[in-house]
Structure 1
Amino acid sequence: MLNIDLHCHSTVSDGLLTPTQLVEHAAARGVEVLALTDHDDIGGLEEARKAADKNGVLFIDGVEISVSWRGQTVHIVGLGIDPADPQLVEGLSTIRQGRTMRARNIAAQLDKFGIHGSFEGARRNAGNGLIGRMHFARFLVEQGYAKDVRTVFKKYLVKGKPGYAPHQWVSLSEAVNWIRSSGGRAVIAHPGRYKLGKDALEELLLEFQTLGGEAIEVVTGSHTFEQSLLFANHSRRLGLLASRGSDFHGPGESYFDLGGMPPLPANCAPVWHDWSGLM
């Protein structure tokens, strides 16, 4: 069975490794098929593809798009996209402009709580990439406000906490349309993370499918074993394809290392079922 990881991040968004380092790490971990899915940015794909060619890894062009759905942020992964597609490129550019505004709003909220210099600290952590919540989390760890980034998110950066800043992302239909227009396959990322009741989750899945979405992440870093079984059942019941991805951000910050997740549960149709040479 091939070791396939279809969700990870580089320094282009909020990962710790450059695209080249990420691919080299994946190869060392025995990953045979890898998708780079940076948040709202495809700037690392060319570098990653070159590194994959050198390291014998089959590379899939990807992205993770931020979506607002009924007041909640949902992430949609695009797999097998065309990074040169004009509609996708323009749409992602619009989101990135909004990310800068959100970063300043997060910093303003932390200022009110007495935590100063967070925008500069997050920007330093981001380097030349987009500033995201993970960069604020790393700054707060550096300053001693929490022991690790997971604790920062729980104490400071989620809804109802001091550093939370609401933001309106793109719609679900826009994200799915951009992915499909570029020849890609749309996947709901880590569905178990969203605070949705049973009925709302069903409505999200059905709306996503109606719009042309094709898959859900069944095995992913933040899913428990029970959640993987639950979403495997959802994928079979609705005829959605099943994806597998670590959501790796860097050593010490992720639930699973690259390629270290369990296999897909039995009787799921893999998102890669019709990819040449993989079945």
Structure 2
Amino acid sequence: MSFDLHTHSTVSDGTEPPAHVVAEAARAGLAGIALTDHDSNAGWEEARTAAQEHGLAFIPGMEISSKTDSASVHMLSYLHDPAEPAMLEINAATRGGRVERAKRICERLAEDFPISWELVLEQVTGEASIGRPHLADALVAAGVVESRTEAFQRYLHKGSRYYVGQDNPHPTEVVQRVRAAGGVPIIAHAMAGARGNTLSMAELEELVDAGMLGVEVYHRDNPPQGQQLLLDLARRRDLIVTGSSDYHGVTGKPNRLGEHTTDPEQVARILAAGTGSAGSGPLPD
């Protein structure tokens, strides 16, 4: 009875449609899955229907971009009401910020490589939230690199001269808006130092004071020492502890469904705390 609570589809920067992500989760032997596309809930119903067909539990979610003065912070939100004005406003802001950032990175890349904004848009499915993976796909399409992974390693990482930061709300604001929409805010990969600066323990404590309910501990980008720090925080503050893959598709990232999972007891805590929308299927009590 294991659950993967952090996955992405073509609604944002994954490479597979929501129904395909769910089918892959069933093949991986998971009991349930959360779809957490960046700044969008557009894949929820497709994923929910597919989960029902495969006999899986489904938990609606989203990953929201935020930042402090020194760090980029991704907040996972589960079971929020997507029509709540607090969520609509923050989604509009973060999605707009993602587009402007992508355009600026594209402009820098175009100075040295044969890519254009039109080529980037060709990599985007429907109304998907645009992100760096789509820029990576454009570099692949242009023959500059062979894979998304190579694109990130060579040109799209934070230390690259092509990199541009994103103007996002403070994570405290995100936490408060998620709670106002009946959602369950859980910080994603909070100790992923390889991605850039991380929050201090004091800053994490402040987010808990603001209403954050959990920490994603078991994630491939959280090193063992960081995982222990998060577990210590969870014990002190009685937080929900999750583990997940951050799956982006077989060709999206090396992350594989079910490589880290969340225990049913922790999933039950999420279900008990969320009031804005509902999960479906064989959910834990």
Which TM-score applies when normalising by structure 2?
Answer: 0.86
Structure 1 runs not aligned, ≥5 long: none
- Map Cα deviations across residues 103-152 of structure 1 (whole Å, 9 max, x no partner): 1111111123x123242222111121122101111222343434432332
Give percent identity, aligned residues only.
Answer: 33
Which TM-score applies when normalising by structure 1?
Answer: 0.88
State the 1:218 CA deviation: 0.6
Partner of 1:123: 121
Partner of 1:183: 182
AA partner of residue 278 (structure 1) = P
Question: How many corresponding residue pairs?
Answer: 272
Contact preservation (8 Å) 1:215, 1:271: no
Q: 1:154 to 1:238 in 2, by over 3 A?
A: farther
Contact preservation (8 Å) 2:113, 2:144: no
Q: C-alpha root-mean-square deviation of aligned residues, in Å?
A: 2.3
Correspondence 1:92 to 2:98: no
Q: 1:263 to 1:210 in 2, by over 3 A?
A: closer
Secondary structure of 1:140 counterpart: helix
Secondary structure of 1:192 counterpart: coil
Correspondence 1:244 to 2:237: no
Partner of 1:111: 110
State the 1:274 CA deviation: 5.9
Contact preservation (8 Å) 1:221, 1:248: no
- Partner Cα separation in structure 2 for residue 142 and residue 68 of structure 1: 31
- Partner Cα separation in structure 2 for residue 169 and residue 119 of structure 1: 22
- Partner Cα separation in structure 2 for residue 82 and residue 50 of structure 1: 19
Structure 2 runs not aligned, ≥5 long: 273-282
Partner of 2:269: 273
AA partner of residue 219 (structure 1) = Y
- Partner Cα separation in structure 1 for residue 55 and residue 81 of structure 2: 21
Contact preservation (8 Å) 1:37, 1:64: yes
Q: Which runs of 4+ in 1 moved over 6 A?
A: none
Using CA pairs below 8 Å that are at least 6 residues apart, which structure has the higher relative contact order? 2
- Map Cα deviations across residues 215-262 of structure 1 (whole Å, 9 max, x no partner): 110112323445434422332233322111110001043343212326
State the 1:159 CA deviation: 2.8
Partner of 1:33: 32
Matched ranges for 1:1-279 at <5 A: 2-112=1-111, 114-128=112-126, 129-194=128-193, 195-196=196-197, 200-261=199-260, 270=266, 272-273=268-269, 275=271, 277-278=283-284
